[in-house]
Structure 1
Amino acid sequence: MIPTNSENHHQNAIEENKKHFNKDMVKLYDRHSIELSGAHYILTKLLLGFDPVNFHPKLDHSNDKDSESLGDRNLPVFGYSNKDFYVPDYENPKNSNLLFNPNKSFNVLDFACGTGLVSQLMVQNIGKNSKYVGIDISDDALELFNEKCKHLSESGYNIQSYNLDIVSENFDSSLVRENDFDVVLCTLGYHHFHDLDKVTHRLSTFLKKDGWLIIIDIHSKDLDSYKIEDFNKPKIEKQTSGSVQHIGGLPYNQIKNSFNLSGNLKNYKIYLSDSFWTYMHSGFMANHSPKHILEMLKNDLLESIKFDGSINYLIPQDYIVAAAQKV
């Protein structure tokens, strides 16, 4: 069988991501989140705070009167590592409808789990009888995942990890079964995938009836892709990675369209998170930031610090939270 253009694009994206997320890069991502940005705490906060009943359908911060980003710039990782920041108060009646709860058990599939930064936090905030499965295409990332979660496994948590390409014809369905999971989640992975429609449909097949697919990714209002060469100041690095398939993040309509085309998802909940302070290396900004942030970088309007031998810039970061339920 001759591969289709879509299959070729998918395979190219897989190879680019494998090449990009080598041992040195995954360790850099880890250090950056743990010591500087605290992104994994933000993502965990958004997941644990997901309320399928009382969701907040905000799609634009431009008219907010109080638009200051969250996070204390005077604290390490902006104070995000404080449990009071990322773990909800489950005794508060307003949190009674949260999807996740430490007294409830779930089968969770963490797609593109990376090094397990989010996974290790999530596992500790759901019932101990839960099953938590992480899958990724990077052996180097999964090696760190297993190191992080080893002590949790030894404490009785059911945590597994596999190197799998879910849309491959050679996918091993004996490792991750269809109709087996209460929740499938993906944090900061979607902008790395070429065919979002195919990935979304495939992820939905792993859900039980009424199970939830939850996607959190960088938000972008830039509907058209742009070339980094358009921003020709030297501080914006031009060696952009082919691992990023959707420059600047994802717009609302792109995710909604993938939900529509899946054929077996309902009850869409798509909204914009609060804005959070973060630090980002200019090389990451080239692929992950919207145009107006790159314009600020170009015009020397961003604060910066040096970390791990590189300059990192203080920027506000919005995330899009998209969830849908299996029919």
Structure 2
Amino acid sequence: MRANHEKRLQRKDAKETTIELQDSSLGPEQLGTVISRFGQHADVETENGELVRCNIRRNIQSLVTGDKVIMRQASETTATIAGVVEAVHPRHSSLSRPDLYDGIKIIAANIDQILIVSSVVPSFTTQIIDRYLVAAEDTGIAPVIILNKIDLLSDEEAPAVEAALERYQAIGYQVYRVSSKSGEGVEAIKTLLKDKVSVFVGQSGVGKSSLINALLPEAELITGDVSETSGLGQHTTTTAKLLHFPSGGDLVDSPGVREFALWHLPAERVGWCFVEFRDYLGTCKFRDCKHKNDPGCAITQAFEEGKIAQDRYQNYHRIIDSLDEQRHARHFKNDND
């Protein structure tokens, strides 16, 4: 199915590739932002807000949603291709994810923050939050924790959930409590998003879509099969898009950034991604310490002294234990393709 889908995209791109723009028909260089990328083409937003579908120069090896580019727009054209991307500015961040087929794949650029959405329904769990935090820390992009559906938080559950959120705040993470249904906390999220490029991640059922719709009511219109701005068809299931919040800031929306696997990370990197571990890493008695029952383990000692929370310590080991299983599943899948 994947191969057939790619062939269809290639046939569509091949038709558009036949539309060549001569240098003599192109205007002066100007700055732009990649709103979406597919095949050999990209939709680029100019500084005056115009959306232009562009060819990409062959010497550009990597171009993704969020990239800042130098582009030239055709002075006169009646075709769907109306410009050319000439060059890409250096990125201040890259959002990537491991792909079962292609290894590590960059899917968006120049992201300022990753918003990790959790909720009290179907159930609140720090295991999932910690997996996302590891993925975020690995990218070097600032993570923010959002607890959604607080209107459904019962009096019995509230103390444990609040204690968990306070533990995250104690180690330096921003935490927001919201309800996309009642609107509580939504204004604070709007302020958080202003003047930044953000990504929302979280498991199905935590209310990411509802929260995005509360922040960006026209999101469904913009991400439909046909762009209302350009009138051009989009590869909606595979392409990341950059959307603008009315109150300021941008959202990168893509199926590829909603969930992250961690099988590509070595155990040492996972440990570093637990921020409260960093003061102790490298101080264990043995260099190959597993931070479990090893004698002279600084991490275990810090946990026993109450300097590392129990759920964080346990979640670290759950992630480590899962890495070999995920790598095995990847190799098994590749061997059978």
Q: Normalising TM by the smaller chain, what interval?
A: under 0.3
Higher relative contact order (CA 8 A, sep 6+): 1
Rg (Cα) greater in structure: 2
TM-score, normalising length: structure 1: 0.28
